[in-house]
């Protein structure tokens, strides 16, 4: 093979220009290929984003939430737990009959503080023990024992025993009065729902959806009992026994009788709502009529002595000068 030696004797500038043109062409070719590849990958990514099926979508890693090992304040986790354990220990010695009676009372009060019969009895005994200890420190000096110290010690013991029962009775009266005040409004809403074509159960459900009161929560509990298979009459009777409110008991008795006789719920609810309204008016008048008699005590203790002092004070110096 013969090589043309004339090519070797050409101008070097031409050779450099040819090499530069070759390199420039290679760069253009490389840039074009890379552009096509990038464009194709971008199109494929968008196709994968909008066309990929849901089961083929990438699963995001779930964040792991670490729960706190302890909750609540240090006082609740130490002293609170000790007090609960102590109350649970004393609750074992509560008689069954007293426990049933207290459980019923606590149920009427709505289980204040989350206490049940045994815990409440244990709390009463603890307060009585505290009263005995305080009374002992009051009368520990038998050499200088006085009637006043004895009276104070007896009063402390009585307060330690009576205060829990008084507090529970006040909670019972407060909850019963709240339910009694809200019953006419509940009957009005039941009557409106029944007139609109809803059944009794659906009307109760409407009340529980809008009312976050004690009566609304009791109606919700009654609905849950009926959903569990308890008959309507039994569930309503259980509610009347739990709350022990006279107006509610009378209303439930009439509803149960109307169900047995096949009467219309709308008519019964309308008449009961009117009657409850009248009873609430009479009750308000009764409270208003009791106010004058109750005002006698503060008038005699506070206002009458001040009036006497204002009237007789100018005459006191003259009377002193005479005598």
Please check the confidence at residue 295 and state whether its pLDDT lies above 60. Answer: yes
Least reliable range by pLDDT among 15-24, 34-43, 120-129: 34-43
Give the whole-angstrom CA distance, residue 186 versus residue 180. 10
- Is residue 155 scored above 60 in pLDDT? yes
Q: What does the pLDDT average to over 105-115?
A: 87
Alpha-carbon dihedral 18, 21, 26, 32, rounded to 10 degrees: -160
What tokens were used for 234?
């039994």
Q: pLDDT at residue 278 above 70?
A: yes
Residue 40, pLDDT score: 53
Q: What is the mean pLDDT of the chain?
A: 78
Residue 277 pLDDT > 50, yes or no?
Answer: yes
pLDDT at 1 over 50: no
The DSSP secondary structure of 44-69, one letter per residue, reads HHHHHHHHS-GGGSPPPPPPPPPPPS
Nearest to 183 by CA among 222, 205, 211: 211
Architecture of the domain whose range is 175-291:
Up-down Bundle (1.20)
State how far the Cα of 275 lies from the Cα of 280, in Å rounded to an integer.
9
Candidate from 31-45, 82-96, 200-214 with smallest mean pLDDT: 31-45
Give the integer Cα–Cα distance in Å for 21 and 152: 117
User: CA nearest 24: which of 14, 35, 16, 34?
Assistant: 16
Per-domain residue ranges of the chain: 175-291
Q: What is the pLDDT of residue 235?
A: 92
The percent of the chain in helix, strand and coil, each rounded to the nearest 5, is 80, 0, 20
C-alpha span between 158 and 55 (Å, rounded): 74
Asked if the model's pLDDT at residue 292 lies above 60, the reply is: yes
Does residue 21 sit in helix, strand or coil? helix
Token readout for 138 is 């009051």
Apex 217 CA angle, 167 and 209, nearest 5: 150
């Amino acid at each position: 093979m013969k090589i043309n030696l004339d090519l070797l004797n050409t101008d070097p500038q031409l050779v450099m220009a040819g090499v530069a043109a070759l390199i420039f062409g290679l760069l253009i070719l490389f840039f074009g290929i890379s552009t096509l590849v990038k464009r194709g990958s971008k199109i494929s990514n968008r196709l994968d984003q909008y066309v990929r099926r849901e089961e083929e979508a990438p699963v995001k890693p779930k964040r792991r939430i670490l729960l706190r090992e302890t909750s609540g304040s240090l006082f609740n986790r130490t002293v609170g737990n000790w007090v609960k354990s102590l109350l649970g220990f004393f609750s074992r010695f509560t008689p069954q009959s007293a426990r049933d009676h207290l459980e019923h009372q606590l149920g009427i009060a709505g289980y204040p503080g989350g206490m049940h019969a045994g815990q409440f009895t244990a709390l009463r005994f603890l307060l009585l023990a505290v009263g005995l200890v305080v009374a002992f420190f009051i009368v520990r000096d038998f050499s200088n024992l006085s009637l006043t110290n004895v009276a104070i010690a007896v009063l402390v013991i009585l307060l330690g025993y009576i205060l829990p029962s008084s507090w529970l009775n006040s909670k019972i009266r407060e909850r019963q009065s709240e339910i009694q005040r809200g019953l006419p409004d509940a009957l009005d809403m039941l009557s409106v729902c029944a007139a609109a074509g809803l059944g009794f159960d659906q009307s109760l459900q409407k009340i529980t959806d809008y009312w976050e009161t004690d009566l609304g929560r009791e109606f919700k509990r009654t609905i849950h009992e009926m959903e569990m298979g308890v008959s309507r009459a039994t569930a309503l009777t259980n509610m009347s026994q739990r709350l022990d409110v006279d107006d509610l008991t009378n209303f439930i008795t009439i509803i149960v009788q109307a169900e047995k006789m096949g009467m219309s719920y709308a008519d019964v609810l309308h008449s009961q709502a009117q009657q409850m309204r009248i009873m609430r008016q009479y009750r308000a008048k009764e409270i208003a009529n009791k106010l004058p008699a109750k005002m006698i005590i503060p008038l005699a203790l506070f206002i009458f002595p001040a009036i006497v002092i204002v009237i007789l004070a100018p005459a006191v110096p003259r009377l002193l000068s005479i005598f």
